[in-house]
Homo-oligomer: A and B are copies of this chain.
Amino acid sequence: MIIGNDEKLLMIGDSITDCERARPIGESRFGGGTGKGYVAQVEALLHTRYPERNIRVVNMGISGNTVRDLKARWQTDVVELKPDWLSIMIGINDVWRQFDSPTIPEAHVYIEEYEATLDELVAATKPTVKGIVLMTPFYIEPNREDAMRATMDQYGAVVQQLAAKHGARFVDTQAAFDRVMRHLYPATLAWDRVHPVLSGHMTIAKAFLDEIGFEWD
């Protein structure tokens, strides 16, 4: 497993990451500071499996964020916290607003802006950390012809390309959900096909952990 002794992992994103994390910094004594979602699950599995490594997990997700919002708070919420490892999962709101708020165009973040901004953030941060993990946004809808799913897949492809370009680690959360959706209808996993129940968060957590070399036994 790639995260070493006393290293800090900072995970940033939107509401999927946030999940009621502590403010202003997403950590706390006696637990709960990393929220109730996949970040907390990652932390729990790391602490249980590697208690000797004393790994610090910090959740900096904020609900509703797009990549445009990440850029605006990058200095205070990433750079100044000096992580050793950084994970980024962003893009769901960038796409969703195009579909749930068609009358509010200023809330849409189109794919050019998405790619350019994410590219800029990764490029600037890569030299300062031991590693970056780029995670795709996802949509818990199995029909790839669905308009929003199709758009989300395009944003996911951008993430994959940027990971390759920058030598970042890559987690395909959409593929992870696709595997589960072969057996479960989306309504079992998420009220709105976006915010998963704990089982869905665990799907994300497992995909992340597999990428960083976590071993159950």
Binding site for B on A (CB under 8 A): 6, 8, 27, 29-32, 36, 40-41, 43-45, 47-49, 51-52, 54-57, 96-97, 99-104, 143, 145-148, 179-180, 182-185, 187-188, 191-193, 197-199, 201-203, 206, 215-217
Contacts and interface: CB of A to CB of B under 8 A. Distances in A.
B199 A31 contact: yes
A100 B143 contact: no
Oligomeric state, in copies: 8
Contacts of A102: 54, 184-185, 188
A203 B179 CA distance: 27
Given A44-B199, A51-B182, A202-B48, A101 B31 contact: no
A157 B8 CA distance: 34
26 contacts: A6-B103, A27-B104, A29-B97, A29-B100, A29-B104, A30-B100, A32-B197, A40-B198, A41-B41, A41-B44, A41-B198, A41-B202, A44-B201, A47-B180, A49-B206, A51-B182, A51-B184, A52-B183, A99-B188, A101-B188, A148-B187, A191-B192, A193-B193, A206-B216, A215-B216, A216-B216
B187 A96 contact: yes
Would you list the 8 A-B pairs with minimal beta carbon distance, nearest first? A31-B197, A216-B216, A56-B103, A47-B199, A100-B187, A44-B202, A51-B183, A99-B185
A182 B147 CA distance: 12
A36 B180 CA distance: 22
A211 to B, nearest CB: 13
A128 B44 CA distance: 35
A191 B188 contact: no
Nearest to A176: B48
A202 B51 contact: no
B32 A147 contact: no
Contacts of A185: 99-100, 102, 147-148
